[in-house]
Structure 1
Amino acid sequence: MARADTLARARTLDRPELAYLVRFPTADGTRDMDLTWAELARDTDWVTARLREHGLGAGQRALLTTSGFEGFWCHAVIGALRALKVTYGIAEAMGWDHRRTSVFHRELAPHAVIGLSAQTLEGLAGTADIGEMFRSTSVVLARPAAVPPLRAVGVSAGVFSAVGPALALECPERNGAHVNAAEWRVGERDGQLTVAAGDGRASLLTETPLGVAGHVTTARCGCGSEDPRVLLAEAN
């Protein structure tokens, strides 16, 4: 049977609602939460809109650095890149794979690099000038620990971070990383972030301390978004 026929047959099969079992750290240990295909589709739509605000569009190229266990966060990013018709390459976010990040960056000349980690930067530092490498990249979204060293060498890096089971993405305003208000409720208690599931999520998650230092602002962002923004202590 041809591959096209196999895929067509596969589309007719029943698919369970569950897409992923999300495991994430909290202040009191790890928690598990179901992620359905419908929720993943909504998450993908939200990420698509956020990346469009950064100017990503058809014909551009992107580099995503991620690890396999982050599938439930990064699947939405991959879906967004596909929706925007952005060609992308993927490198492991662990430091041992920094050479692949370097090769993809050189060969793709990407418009955007998403998910840069401090470990990747540490690996690259021995072989490249980080500032020279990324200053010419139009969009750099990095994990919190990687943001200060990038900004220190003149790279206008925004924040890309998990906030418990949610994903936070900083807009071009650089005033904190947005979290989808339609899906999650983020807050703070004693200088630590908390997260709870919105009414539309399949799994119940009451207000949960994450053990992550940060601040939440609900003021309207300069980009026009009403989504809350988290300002992570590690990224400043």
Structure 2
Amino acid sequence: MARADTLTRARELDRPELAYVVRFLAAGGTRETELTRAELARDTDWATARLRQHGLAPGQRALLTASGFEGFWGHAVIGALRALKVTYGIAEAMGWDHRRTSVFHRELRPHAVIGLSAETLEGLAGGADIGEMFRATPVVLARPAAVPVLRAVGVSACLLSPVGPALALECPERGGAHVNGAEWRVGDRDGELFVAAGEQRTSPLPETPLGIAGRVLSGRCGCGSEDPRVLLAETDRPS
């Protein structure tokens, strides 16, 4: 059977609505919640809109650094890149794969680097000038521990971070990382973040303290979004 015929048959098969069982760290240890295909599709639409705010457009190239266990948000980001017709390469976010990040960055000359970790930066620093490497990259979305490292060398990095099962993604205004308010309820109590499933979420998740130091801002952002914005303690500093 030809590959095209196989794919056609596969699309006709019934698929379970469940896409992922998401495991995430919370204040009381590891928690789980389910992610349906419909929820994943909405997460992808949201991520597409956020990346479009950063100027990603057809014909551009991007580098995504992510780990397999992060599929619950990585899949949405990959779907967004595909929807935007952005060519992308993927490297592991762990430090041992920093050479692949370096090669992809050199060969792709990406418009955006998404998901840079402090471990990757540490590996790259052994053979490259981090500031020189990323200052010319128009869009750099980095994880919490990597953001201050990048900003210290003149890279205008924005924050990208899992917040429990949700994804926080900072817009070009750099006033905090947006969380999809239609899908998640986020807040802070005693200086630490919590998350709960929003009204549109099929999969239940009661209010769950995350043990992450930070605060949440509400109200309209300069980019026009009404989504809540997360300020993490380790990145909430002058740059």
Which TM-score applies when normalising by structure 1? 0.99
After TM superposition, the runs of 4+ consecutive aligned structure 1 residues lying more than 6 A away are none
> How big is the shift at 1:110?
0.1
How far does the alpha carbon of each residue in 1:67-126 deviate from its partner, in whole angstroms, 9 at most, with x for none?
010011100000000000000000000000000000000000000000000000000001
Q: Which residue of 1 aligns with 2:171?
A: 171
CA distance in 2, matches of 1:182, 1:126: 42
Q: Which residue of 1 aligns with 2:199?
A: 199
Where do residues 65-80 of structure 1 align in structure 2 (5 Å cutoff)? 65-80=65-80
Q: Which residue of 1 aligns with 2:139?
A: 139
Q: Which residue of 2 aligns with 1:4?
A: 4
CA distance in 1, matches of 2:91, 2:52: 22
Q: Which runs of 5+ in 2 are unaligned?
A: none
CA distance in 2, matches of 1:210, 1:174: 23
Where do residues 31-110 of structure 1 align in structure 2 (5 Å cutoff)? 31-110=31-110
CA distance in 2, matches of 1:6, 1:197: 37
Give, as a single letter, the amino acid of the residue that structure 1 aligns with 2:90: I
Q: Which residue of 1 aligns with 2:186?
A: 186
CA distance in 2, matches of 1:163, 1:185: 11
Alignment of 1:129 with 2:129, yes or no, is yes
Q: Which residue of 2 aligns with 1:20?
A: 20
CA distance in 1, matches of 2:202, 2:30: 19
Alignment of 1:221 with 2:203, yes or no, is no
Q: Which residue of 2 aligns with 1:30?
A: 30
What's the secondary structure of 2:146's corresponding residue?
helix
Q: Percent identity?
A: 82
Give, as a single letter, the amino acid of the residue that structure 1 aligns with 2:235: A
What's the secondary structure of 2:201's corresponding residue?
coil
CA distance in 2, matches of 1:199, 1:173: 27
Whether the aligned pair in 1 keeps the contact of 2:187 and 2:216 (CA below 8 Å) is yes
> How big is the shift at 1:202?
2.0
CA distance in 1, matches of 2:87, 2:187: 35
Number of matched residues? 236
Whether the aligned pair in 1 keeps the contact of 2:195 and 2:209 (CA below 8 Å) is yes
198-207 vs 133-142, greater mean Cα deviation: 198-207
CA distance in 2, matches of 1:185, 1:202: 14
> How big is the shift at 1:182?
0.3
What's the secondary structure of 1:119's corresponding residue?
helix
Whether the aligned pair in 1 keeps the contact of 2:36 and 2:203 (CA below 8 Å) is no
